[in-house]
Structure 1
């Protein structure tokens, strides 16, 4: 699974927003963009999507900005990634979203011997991301390795 810049930036922005303000106060978009080295115009588009989905709220005008709509413990990383990235399925025939059935995207749907591999990958990724909250990411003390 390759994650888009939108998802990478969105998750980083949410962690920064949670660290800077949480649900208590707003943070200007520019401050988040500068702190995370994210182009401000691109971040504005991402934050608009997060606001429409109810992950953040915004206040206009002087002293305005963004804040979390609920505590970091109540924000699922899986839900954030699905919003920003779309399906977590690594291949179209195992996707659970949209109007297309697996049969419509692949003629080999019924006989494909590798489909179970991709199903397992999709389930593992979904379970791993759904098990994490924004708070888990904020306070994760696992050493980072390259």
Structure 2
């Protein structure tokens, strides 16, 4: 599954905001310069995050953006859905939220769908579950250098353990 740059840049923006102490707002210009991202694109991304209630803005000379909730309470499924919409492994994969089932757009859905439905349902479920389990605070901790000065050294162990555990 390939997410767009909207998801990548949006997650990077959220991590930057999560690194800020307290309620200190950050200007998008600062984030764009620090992360080497296009400011105009970040403005469109932050509008989606605001609409989803994940960030809030402050106007004025010392204004900017900050998280609407603590980083521990923000799950990455919320962020990705706000930016990408439905999480789907294939373009033919339609998530029917009303009926809580997955539809295949290749065939009339008579309850069976196409032969690959089981595979794509599992892929989508695995990806979505990983996003639900991951909080913004975990990504912020991973970003910080460990005792040896390398980024996220301690968190990397958790990632490996979690990934191996989820394959069982």
> What TM-score, normalized to structure 2?
0.76
Are 1:58 and 1:65, in contact at CA under 8 Å, matched by a contact in 2?
A: yes
In structure 2, the partner of 1:65 is 64
Q: Relative to total residues, which structure has the larger strand share, 1 or 2? A: 2
- 1:20-31 to structure 2, matched below 5 A, reads 20-21=20-21, 23-31=22-30
In structure 2, the partner of 1:45 is 44
CA-based RMSD of the aligned residues comes to: 2.1
Cα distance in 2 between the residues matched to 1:82 and 1:65 = 23
Cα distance in 2 between the residues matched to 1:61 and 1:77 = 29
Are 1:87 and 1:96, in contact at CA under 8 Å, matched by a contact in 2?
A: no
Q: Structure 1: give runs of 5+ residues left out of the alignment.
A: none
Cα distance in 1 between the residues matched to 2:20 and 2:40 = 20
Tell me which stretches of 4 or more aligned residues in structure 1 moved more than 3 Å: none
Kindly indicate whether structure 1 or structure 2 has the higher relative contact order, using CA contacts under 8 Å at least 6 residues apart: 1
Cα shift at 1:139:
1.1
How many residues align structurally?
140
Are 2:54 and 2:68, in contact at CA under 8 Å, matched by a contact in 1?
A: yes
For 1:142, what is the secondary structure of its paired residue?
Answer: helix
For 1:123, what is the secondary structure of its paired residue?
Answer: helix
Cα distance in 1 between the residues matched to 2:34 and 2:93 = 39
In structure 1, the partner of 2:32 is 33
For 2:62, what is the secondary structure of its paired residue?
Answer: coil
Cα shift at 1:126:
0.5
Are 2:106 and 2:114, in contact at CA under 8 Å, matched by a contact in 1?
A: no
In structure 1, the partner of 2:14 is 14
